[in-house]
Amino acid sequence: MRVLVTGGCGFIGSHVVEEFLDAGIEVRVLDALLPAVHPPGSPPPPVPHGVEMVVGDVRDAGVVRRALDGVNVVCHQAAMVGLGIDIGDMPDYAGINGVGTAVLLSGMASAGVGRLVLAGSMVVYGEGRYRCPEHGPVRAAARRRADLDAGRFEPPCPLCGRQLAWERVTEDDVPDPRNTYAVTKLAQEQLAGVWAASTGGSAVALRYHNVYGPRMPRDTPYSGVAALFRSALEAGRAPRVFEDGAQQRDFVHVRDVATANRTALTRGGADHCLRAYNVASGTPRSVGDMARALADAFGGPAPQVTGEYRVGDVRHVVASPERAAEELGFRAGTAFEDGVRSFATAPLRGAVA
C-alpha cells in the first residue's frame, strides 16, 4: 500500500507519517510548508528516511497530479486550522480547505484513487448537544455579546432561556458550524461525500477533538489552546484561560490520532459514501483542567482565569467515541495525566516571525 499524506510535515501529519511507517506502509508526503504552520527560521521536522517528499500546494492541480501517481489511498491532513486572527483570514480558509480539497478530489477521480481518509474536526458540531430541564434536547441559542461581556457564558435554552446541560455529541448530530474554520471543515466533508457518491469511492472523516502533544507550534493563533498554554509556560508567563475555564472539551493525544488514521486506512466507511467518526478520548475535561494540569507538570506559574472570550468560540463540545470503537476498532489509549505530563516538557515548534 502506498499512501499520500497531505500536510505530512505538520503537527498531526508528521505523527501520522511515523505511524504509517511503523506499520510498514509506504508513504509519500505533499506539503506546501506554509508559514502559518512552518514559520521562517523554524524548519519543519525532517522527513523520515524512505519517505518521498513533494513540496507544493494542494490547490495546484499539476502538483496534485504528480503526488497521486501510483498512490492507493489519500490521507488528507493539509488544512488551515484554528480560529485564526480575524475575518481577514476567510479567503485563506476557503481557499486552502475548500478549493484545495476540491482540487485533490478531482485529481483522485482522474487517477483512479478510491479511498480517502480525511482529517475532519469537532468544530462542525458548533455548540454541541444540550438538554433543557423543561424542553428536553434542544439546539443551543447563539451566545450574545452582551451575555459574554457580563460573564454569562452558558448558552441559554432558545425556548425558555434556562441554563442547559451539555451531552455527548454523536456523528449523527446535525452539523452547526459557527466560525469560518468550522464552515470550511464541514465543506471538506461534503465535498468528499460528493466525490464518493460520484466515483464509487469510500471516504472516512475523522472528526478530531482537541488534539495536543509534541510538535505543536508555539505562539500562533492557528493552533490549539493546549499549545497556547504550553507556550506561555515556556516563556515564564501564566497561561491565560478565557471565560471562566469551565468550557468542556475532549483532549486527545496526537499519537492516538495517528493510530486512528492507521486503522481508517482499511476499516470504516463504504463505497459511494462518506462515514464520519469522532476521534476522542471519551473523557471530558475543562479548558481550566488542561491549563492547571500543564502548569503543575511544567512547574508553574499557575493559570490566570481572565473572563475574556473570543467571538466564534463555543462553550461545550464533548464526544461519544463509540462508533469509532465499534467500526474502526479504535479507542484512545493515552491517559490524560500521562499525555499532559509528557507534553509539558516536549519541544514545540518555533515562534511565528
Would you list the DSSP string of 221-290? TTS-HHHHHHHHHHTTPPPEEPTTS--EE-EEEHHHHHHHHHHHTTSS--TTEEEEEEE--S--EEHHHH
pLDDT digits (tens, 9 = 90+) for 16-57: 999 999 999 999 999 998 876 776 666 666 789 889 999 999
Taking 60 as the threshold, does the pLDDT of residue 351 lie above it? no
- When pLDDT is averaged across residues 161-186 and rounded to a whole number, the result is 93
352: confidence class by pLDDT, cuts 50, 70, 90: very low
Predicted pLDDT at 353: 35
DSSP 23: T
Lowest-confidence segment of 179-183, 239-243, 263-267, 320-324 by average pLDDT: 179-183
Q: Report yes or no on 164 lying in a domain.
A: no
Predicted pLDDT at 349: 76
Q: Report yes or no on 141 lying in a domain.
A: no
Q: Which residue has the higher pLDDT, 283 or 178?
A: 283
Q: Report yes or no on 136 lying in a domain.
A: no
Predicted pLDDT at 348: 86
Query: Residue 40: CA atoms inside 13 Å, Cβ hemisphere, count?
Result: 1
Overall number of domains in the chain: 1
Predicted pLDDT at 40: 67
- When pLDDT is averaged across residues 261-277 and rounded to a whole number, the result is 95
pLDDT digits (tens, 9 = 90+) for 194-225: 999 999 999 999 999 999 999 998 877 667 89
Percent of the chain's residues with pLDDT above 70: 96
Taking 70 as the threshold, does the pLDDT of residue 328 lie above it? yes
Q: Report yes or no on 49 lying in a domain.
A: yes
Q: Report yes or no on 163 lying in a domain.
A: no
83: confidence class by pLDDT, cuts 50, 70, 90: confident
CATH number for position 29: 3.40.50.720
Q: Report yes or no on 140 lying in a domain.
A: no
Q: Report yes or no on 337 lying in a domain.
A: yes
Q: Report yes or no on 156 lying in a domain.
A: no
pLDDT digits (tens, 9 = 90+) for 122-160: 999 998 899 999 999 999 888 899 999 999 999 999 999
Q: Which element (helix H / strand E) includes 301?
A: none
Percent of the chain's residues with pLDDT above 90: 81
- When pLDDT is averaged across residues 310-317 and rounded to a whole number, the result is 88
Residues 6+ apart with CB under 8 A from 270: 202
Q: How far apart are CA 89 and CA 314, in angstroms?
A: 19
Q: What is the mean pLDDT of the chain?
A: 93
Contact 328, 211 (CB under 8 A): no
- When pLDDT is averaged across residues 3-14 and rounded to a whole number, the result is 96
- When pLDDT is averaged across residues 177-201 and rounded to a whole number, the result is 96
pLDDT digits (tens, 9 = 90+) for 84-114: 777 888 999 999 999 999 999 999 999 999 9
Copy the grid coordinates of residue 183.
464552515
State which residues form the domain around 10. 2-128+169-344
Question: For cell 496534485, what's the residue?
Answer: 64
- When pLDDT is averaged across residues 268-282 and rounded to a whole number, the result is 95
